Amino acid sequence: MNGSLRDAFEDLAAEARPVDLAARVTRGARRRRQRRVGAVAVATLALVLGTTVVLGRVDQVRPASPGKAYDVFWADDQSLPRYMHYAATVGSTARAEQGTGPVDAAALSPDGRKVALVVGQTVDVLVLDGARRTVEGFALPAADNFPEIAWAPDNRRVAVTDPSDPGITSAGFWVLDTVTGESRYIRHGHLGAGLGWAPDGQTLAVSAVDDRGDPAGIDLVPLDGGPVRRLGAAERWLLASAYSWSPDGTRLVVLDNGGTSAESFVVDVATGSQIGGALPGGRYVWRGPDRLAVERIDGLVETGLDGREIRVLYPFGRTGGHYRVAVRPGS
Amino acid sequence: MTAPTFDDFVRTRTPGLLRVAYLLTGEQHAAEDLVQSALERTAGRWRHLVRNDSADGYVRTVMYRLQVDRWRRRAKFAEQVTAAVPDGAGPDPYGAADTRLALRAALARLTPRQRAVLVLRFFEDLGEARTAEVLGCSAGTVKSQTALALRRLREGAPELADLVGNGVGA
Of B69, B96, B123, the CB nearest to A166: B69
Best interface-test mutation with A: which of B12, B46, B163, B168 has the largest number of A CBs within 10 A?
Answer: B163
Q: What is the ipTM of this complex?
A: 0.76
Residues B39, B116, A218, A139, Cα dihedral to 10° = -50
For chain B, residues with pLDDT lower than 70 are 1-2, 44, 69-96, 165-170
Q: Does residue A233 surpass a pLDDT of 50?
A: yes
pLDDT at A215 (0 to 100): 64
| CB < 8 Å to A209, chain B | 71
* pLDDT per residue as tens digits for the range B43-69: 767 777 777 777 888 888 888 877 876
Q: B63-101 b/e with 16+ CB inside 10 Å = b?
A: bbbbbbbbbbebbeeeeeeeeeeeeeeeeeeeeeeebbb
- A34 CB neighbours in chain B (<8 A) are none
Classified as helix, coil or strand, A298 is coil
Whether B100 and A11 lie within 8 Å, measured CB to CB: yes
Looking at per-residue pLDDT, the higher value among A152 and A183 belongs to A152
Q: How far is A305 from chain B (nearest CA, A)?
A: 26
- Other beta carbons less than 10 A from residue A4's beta carbon: 15
Q: Nearest-CA neighbor of A201 among A228, A173, A221? A: A221
Of A2, A164, A166, the CB nearest to B122: A2
Mean pLDDT of A25-37: 48
- Does residue A222 have a pLDDT over 90? yes
> Are A164 and B78 within 8 A, CB to CB?
no
Q: Which of A27-36, A201-210, A295-304, B141-150 has the lowest mean pLDDT?
A: A27-36
pLDDT at site A86: 34
Among A201, A126, A122, residue whose Cα is nearest residue A162: A122
Strands A229-231 and A240-245: unpaired
